[in-house]
Structure 1
Amino acid sequence: MVRIYKTIDGAIHQIQEPEEGCWIALTNPTATEIFEFSEKFDIEVDDLRSPLDEEERSRIEVEDNYTLILVDVPMIEERNDKDWYGTIPLGIIVTGSMIFTICLEDTPVLTRFMEGRVRSFFTYMKTRFIFQILYRNASMYLRYLRIIDKKSEQVEEKLHLSTRNEELIELLELQKSLTYFITSLRSNEVVLEKLLKIDSIKKYPEDTDLLEDVITENKQAIEMANVYSGILNGTMDAFASIISNNMNIVMKVLAIITIVMSIPTIVFSAYGMNVAGSGMPLSGSPLGFLIIILISVAISVVAAIILSKKRFF
């Protein structure tokens, strides 16, 4: 999908053909679209394809007539019929007259720009636009990290009385999401530091503070991700033991019930043997059956009391 935007009279508008000062957003472009833009704007095909590879690393490449900035952005993906978090590459190509963004799918990082909900956003201010994208990206990481923290707290509440593995699997998925985030944020940090040094991206005094804010937000996201990851690791270890302990308690209760119930079973089994009735106690009494039941129940109650005092229940 190809969408072209341009700031006209202070507002963002979608246009049909590329113009100077416009923003071309490529979302999962076809091979034909890639070759078309490659030939038209003299951009290497590999540079247009790179952001479409989920395993592509974050980096900056400076060419003669354009600069490629590749960063990882957070996204929501479905695993095991639930929404979890991962990262995908986002490519930003800056030429002398316009800016390109290439991504495998629509991302919330760019959605607000397309909807015109970002202050001081102008497509022809390329440097500021790049820094605004990177700032929005770091903010999305922070937002998703807070959601992950809330989800982990909800899972922890379920785990207190759980004997199943489902909650542990959910924590494992959250841990996996944090691992993706930490790896991507560290790669993005290298890109941001390199942005401070390269000369191919013009830096204006009014935009320098914005880049510093981006670096600060990114570092904060790394710290939060590391903290949450450490907490989750400890939580998973603790609750794995709790689930095992809960299962042991259930098995212990079932074993005690079996012991208590086995007492009348032994008595009734003895009376159920195919032997002469004259040799069995109370066999000649009309109340013998009731007495035997009462004795069995009494012995079971005594056994239950003894086990209870020893805190087996």
Structure 2
Amino acid sequence: MTVTAPALTEVTGSNAALRAFLHGLPGVDKVGADARAAALGTRSIKTSSKVFAIDLAISMVDLTTLEGADTPGKVRALATKALRPDPLDPSCPSTAAVCVYPSMVADVREIVAGSTVKIASVATAFPSGQASLKVKIDDVRDAVAAGADEIDMVINRGAFLAGRYLEVFDEIVAVKGACGDARLKVIMETGELVTYDNVRRASWLSMLAGADFIKTSTGKISPAATPPVTLIMLEAVRDFLATTGRQVGVKPAGGIRTSKDAIKYLVLVNETAGDGWLDPHWFRFGASSLLNDLLLQRNKMKTGHYSGPDYVTLD
């Protein structure tokens, strides 16, 4: 899709203008998107490329714990694992980030300070997004003040589905302003958006409002990330870059558990958006159990046999 940049500055002036723009985006061919994602998922990856892909996937993981039972000890252990995913192999890359609730940011910072591992924090009344704007902004500022490098916010899906697009836009803009130097990932909760057309509209809306990343899901509802939805988001960031000159990242989150799944997503990235997104700065996996399978597969390719389940930690 091609849209002139000056036109983009005009579409956010009113809800009617924004609605006209978003509903003027080309419709998504659901059958075509499903078929394209399925076909790319059958690509065969040879051994040398698989070794590279597994290390790349590890470096793209936002190692995540978002449970009510999280404790400082559990979070510090997870942060230690993010720094050295395989303590027996120093050549194993660190993960991209550790993602926790705002109250746990300081605990992560104690472990990863000075390293390449970023501190990501969910905010804005995660996962429902049902809170006042003041509460959401305070949530973000608390996380940033505690040391968060990245903020994962959730949009108001009720407002979006009701067509109150400017309300959603203004909220993202306000949250972006509260982030300071922290990068903003906008979670659309695609499983609640119902249609692929809505996924495309929410992607463009989030990017227009200043998102540094667009993210599929909170991981708290099903379906979470799926290849077709991620394909649509990758098309959106590709077209947004062509239109505005600004690159935006993509983060599928929830339900990605195996190395095979992760590699399918990397193929999807390369074939849809291009190799410019094959970098942790522009593509992430929101996951908890995925890292363990990547480590087991990595060790198997080095040693020729599978390690027992005690080779990795249970997080």
TM class by shorter chain equals: under 0.3
Q: Which of the pair has the greater relative contact order for Cα pairs under 8 Å at 6+ separation?
A: 2
Q: Would you tell me which structure has more strand in proportion to its own residues? A: 1
Please identify which structure carries the higher helix content.
Answer: 1
Q: Which structure has the greater CA radius of gyration?
A: 1
Please, what TM-score do these two structures have when normalized by structure 1?
A: 0.22
